[in-house]
Structure 1
Amino acid sequence: MTYFEAFILALVQGFTEFLPISSSAHLILPSAILGWEDQGLAFDVAVHVGTLAAVIIYFRHEVVTLLTALMGSIFKGERSKESKLAWMLVLATIPACIFGLFMKDIIEIYLRSAWVIATTTVVFALLLWWVDNNASLKDDEYQADGKKSLIIGITQALAMIPGTSRSGATITAALYLGFTREAAARFSFLMSIPIIMLAGGYLGLKLITSGEPVHLSILLTGIVTSFISAYICIFFFLKLISKMGMLPFVIYRLILGFGLFGFLIFG
């Protein structure tokens, strides 16, 4: 992997991890279209570290508050809206853990293809458009209950299918359940923290046991670039989402999906 490839892939990872447009799709496409080699486990770990650092630092106050409330509910029996939200985020993480444990190999073998990406990109673009246009937009993230959290968690699990988009699926589900756009995005971003940690830890263990060579300068490029681009993405997305809605991302996904279909058919 060259430094240019590392920079572009990390930039793409950072900007697409938290947008409803599928980071996995954009990371698979360079190898499918440009012929780039797979970035490897070490680089996957690096960009996970970068995006994880970005979301934790951006939501540092919320993370500290939620963790404190969670510990207080466990050890002191304290109850608050913050402790409830923390438990709902824990609940929302469980389906992806179970789904990933039993389905990850099947997805890696059978579903990491450009055809699957093109299809899911278009299908979930239309679903996002329909939900966003019919959403009641009345609740904040503190209105999440067990049922709503579990539903959002199931959509996060299904988003392991390439092209679906983790943030796209969870934001779509949250909007359908009555969350405002800002609340849907915040809930999605906060629930990304444990799942990115788990995914990064899993990839890290695979890296340790694989014996794959590690190029520190390439990895540092990936970490720094993905961190900066992810932080910028989160900042502007939350600032603009209430004004622009989801239509720009729907249009982008449709262009990307149909463009990929055209490349596969005529390229």
Structure 2
Amino acid sequence: MGFFDALFLGFIQGLTEFIPVSSSAHLRIIGEFLPNGADPGATFTAITQLGTEAAVVVYFWRDIVRIVKQWSRALVGKAPKNDPDARMGWLIIVGSLPIIVLGLVFQDEIETTFRSLWLVASMLIIFGILMGIADVVGKKTRSLQQLTVGRGVVFGFAQALALIPGVSRSGGTITAGLFMGFSRTAAARYSFLLALPAVFGSGFYQLAKSFSGPQVFGPLETLSATVVAFIVGIGVIAFLMNWLSKHSFWPFVVYRVLLGGTILVLLATGVLQG
């Protein structure tokens, strides 16, 4: 695959990272349909996610600065420990622990077994249905001020499921949030902030690893794709936050089930190899 393939995959990464349809699943699937198609790999996926997470930093810059500042001040006793922003800093740390631990434990599977198209398609369908159920039964009354350590851990384990392409980092955490009674916008906001430590950690780890072995795309292609993902990602965050204040997740649910079903049919008929 070449330079323009990388740019296109970067565009797809930016387009699908924040909406609950699994960006890693889309990169895995679309890679198969490009000229000389192949799996772009876990390394390319993780590095391009640095671009979309940089978009989160830009979009939520004021929130992030405020949280880091108050958390740091509370740490040295210059701000109350129950300060809402300081508390959010701790909740982001606690919620990040599951994906860090499980990411290290299942590192080999993340780069091999978990990228099976059979598994990806199944996860698209299963977690699409779970999201639809959560959107119907969730009370959607809780705000982030009602986030506790226990709920933060639940969010964290839901995020960790996104180590399997097809689950969706935002989809998993938002679904968990809806089941726990949080509003759509509150669940999405925490989901985006919670992803920062995990994605930056994974992305820079994979970036360091990329220097020691062959990759599907070279450094220039990967960098360019990451920049495209950043630019597109900013627009998608703004769209999604506005969308969630007025609409449900059902268009994404239907899309996930149809895409997953289509991939299963293509695999079963031999058009795609899993």
Maintained 8 Å contact 1:32/1:114: no
Matched, 1:63 2:64: yes
Name the residue aligned to 1:248: 251
Residue by residue, what CA displacement relative to the aligned partner does 1:145-168 show, whole Å, maximum 9, x if unpaired?
A: 111000010111122112111110
Name the residue aligned to 2:28: 28
Name the residue aligned to 1:119: 122
Residue by residue, what CA displacement relative to the aligned partner does 1:172-213 show, whole Å, maximum 9, x if unpaired?
A: 001111111000000000111111111112102212333769
Maintained 8 Å contact 1:152/1:173: yes
State how far apart, in whole Å, the 1-side matches of 2:146 and 2:59 are.
Answer: 22
State how far apart, in whole Å, the 2-side matches of 1:213 and 1:28 are.
Answer: 12
Q: Give, as a single letter, the amino acid of the residue that structure 2 aligns with 1:51.
A: T
Maintained 8 Å contact 2:51/2:230: yes
Deviation at 1:75, TM superposition (A): 1.1
Q: Give, as a single letter, the amino acid of the residue that structure 1 aligns with 2:187.
A: A
Three-state SS of the structure 1 residue aligned to 2:165 is: coil
Q: Matches of residues 1-267 of structure 1 in structure 2 within 5 Å?
A: 1-34=1-34, 35-39=36-40, 43-44=44-45, 46-76=47-77, 78-79=79-80, 80-210=83-213, 215=218, 217-266=220-269, 267=271
State how far apart, in whole Å, the 2-side matches of 1:214 and 1:161 are.
Answer: 22
Q: Give, as a single letter, the amino acid of the residue that structure 2 aligns with 1:134.
A: V
Maintained 8 Å contact 1:22/1:164: yes
Three-state SS of the structure 2 residue aligned to 1:225 is: helix
Change (3 A) 1:41 1:21: closer
Q: Give, as a single letter, the amino acid of the residue that structure 2 aligns with 1:16.
A: T
Comparing both structures, which one devotes a greater share of its residues to helix? 1
Structure 1 runs not aligned, ≥5 long: none
Q: Give, as a single letter, the amino acid of the residue that structure 2 aligns with 1:196.
A: V
Range with greater deviation from structure 2 (118-127 or 45-54): 45-54
Maintained 8 Å contact 1:70/1:86: yes
Change (3 A) 1:41 1:22: closer
Change (3 A) 1:162 1:217: closer
State how far apart, in whole Å, the 1-side matches of 2:105 and 2:217 are.
Answer: 29
State how far apart, in whole Å, the 2-side matches of 1:158 and 1:42 are.
Answer: 18
Maintained 8 Å contact 1:43/1:222: no
Deviation at 1:77, TM superposition (A): 5.2
State how far apart, in whole Å, the 2-side matches of 1:97 and 1:252 are.
Answer: 30
Change (3 A) 1:246 1:41: closer
Three-state SS of the structure 2 residue aligned to 1:244 is: coil
Task: List structure 1 segments (4+ residues) > 6 angstroms apart after TM superposition.
Answer: none
Question: TM-score, normalised on structure 2?
Answer: 0.91
Three-state SS of the structure 2 residue aligned to 1:243 is: coil
Residue by residue, what CA displacement relative to the aligned partner does 1:67-96 show, whole Å, maximum 9, x if unpaired?
A: 001101111252201111111111000000
Maintained 8 Å contact 2:21/2:124: yes
State how far apart, in whole Å, the 2-side matches of 1:109 and 1:59 are.
Answer: 34
Three-state SS of the structure 2 residue aligned to 1:239 is: helix
Q: What is the aligned residue count?
A: 267
State how far apart, in whole Å, the 1-side matches of 2:123 and 2:242 are.
Answer: 27
State how far apart, in whole Å, the 2-side matches of 1:113 and 1:31 are.
Answer: 13
Q: Give, as a single letter, the amino acid of the residue that structure 2 aligns with 1:19.
A: I
Question: TM-score, normalised on structure 1?
Answer: 0.93
Residue by residue, what CA displacement relative to the aligned partner does 1:15-35 show, whole Å, maximum 9, x if unpaired?
A: 111111011111111233445
- Please, what is the CA RMSD of the aligned residues? 1.9
Change (3 A) 1:165 1:59: same
Maintained 8 Å contact 1:44/1:203: no
